[in-house]
Chain A
Amino acid sequence: MINRFIPLIIVLGLFALFLARMNSGENPKELDSVLIGRAAPQFELASLQGGNPPLTTADLKIGKPVLVNFFASWCVPCRAEHESLMVLAGQYRVPIYGIAYKDSPDRSRAFLTELGNPFSKTGIDQNGRVAIDWGVTGVPETFLVDGDGIVRYRHWGPIVGDGLRKRLVPELEKLR
């Protein structure tokens, strides 16, 4: 008797599974960062602003959370998330370090002049090697690093829509 319902139960089970996965809001292309819970990789990058000291791993261990944002002037989603970065720097007062990924420094500077500069420090990663050390698969990607230089959260893709207040800010508040 119950055997008759097994196919129906299987189909309904699959239906529920698909529905749950569809509505989970997860991006299946998004990979978990292996950096979470680990110390940020060692690096030293020259600043976009001539004369300023380079951006180094030491800048990440300042006793309060910071953000590391990989961006490029040629990257359209970076343009889209720029407003969120301005809000984070202005309203939430979190230091943001901008790493210009595979971009000509002139264009990166022009990008920041045009849209405003949310970064307290910048670094030039012209060959993209530092990005590979961070496990970046494409720009933009943003890492939240705690006061001891341990990576706590990675925001994959642009911080747009409710991504700022529903995902990034709660993670930031956890560290404060």
Chain B
Amino acid sequence: MIRQFVVVIVTAFLVAGAAFAVAVDEKPLPDPVLEAQARSLMKEIRCLVCQNQSIEDSNADLARDLRAIVRERVALGDTPDNVRAYLVDRYGDWVLLKPPFNPSTYLLWASPLLALVALALLLFRRQQKNETRQAAMAPLSDSEKAELDKLLEGEQ
């Protein structure tokens, strides 16, 4: 009795899992390899309506249309680069969640490196300053040492 119950529950969840994978009104491509290719592309394409979701995640109408286009192009034999180019041609580089490496994004891609270099320079300068400061400090003379000893003794 309990075993039957468990089987029913587990089956229900397995079936439901498959249902979650695709929006209700969508037809995945019959070829699982092409469908996987289309899906991985969808994860890279920004939904132009919600703007911080991929079209794979988004419920927006436009995202659904773009998903259909991605599937259509993949089924027609377009390479992933062709599909990206098709969308960039209409919506610009911004449609790609990962910004491409081109003259307008050099600064963006280089910024972590620049920040690192700036930090290294800053640390280096600070280090040098400390060293010069220490060098400028003359060691204690004999009379100074004697006075210091006397002070420390007095404290005890």
Residue from the list A29, A31, A32, A128 in contact with B65, Cβ < 8 A: A128
Residue from the list A34, A129, A137 in contact with B48, Cβ < 8 A: A137
> Which residues of the partner chain A approach B62 to less than 8 Å between Cβ atoms?
128, 132, 137-138
Q: In the complex, A87 Cα to B65 Cα: how many Å?
A: 33
Q: In the complex, A102 Cα to B48 Cα: how many Å?
A: 17
> Which residues of the partner chain B approach A33 to less than 8 Å between Cβ atoms?
92
Q: Which of A121-140 contact B (CB under 8 A)?
A: 127-129, 132-135, 137-138
| Count of chain B residues with a beta carbon within 8 Å of a chain A beta carbon | 14
Q: Assess the B89–A132 pair: CB atoms within 8 A.
A: no
Knowing A132-B65, A132-B69, the reply to whether A138 touches B90 (Cβ < 8 A) is: no
Knowing A132-B66, A138-B62, the reply to whether A32 touches B48 (Cβ < 8 A) is: no
Tally of contacts, chain A with chain B, CB under 8 A: 34
Interface size class of A (residues with CB under 8 A): 10 to 19
Q: Assess the A138–B49 pair: CB atoms within 8 A.
A: yes
- Min CB distance B42 to A, Å, is 15
Q: In the complex, A127 Cα to B65 Cα: how many Å?
A: 8
> Which residues of the partner chain B approach A137 to less than 8 Å between Cβ atoms?
48-49, 62, 91
- Contact flags (1/0) for B47-61 with A, using CB distance below 8 Å? 011010000000001
25 A-B pairs within 8 Å (CB atoms) are namely A29-B51, A31-B48, A31-B94, A32-B92, A34-B88, A34-B89, A34-B90, A34-B92, A102-B61, A127-B65, A128-B61, A128-B65, A129-B65, A132-B62, A132-B65, A132-B66, A132-B69, A132-B90, A133-B90, A135-B90, A137-B49, A137-B62, A137-B91, A138-B49, A138-B62
By a beta-carbon cutoff of 8 Å, the part of chain B in contact with chain A is 48-49, 51, 61-62, 65-66, 69, 88-92, 94
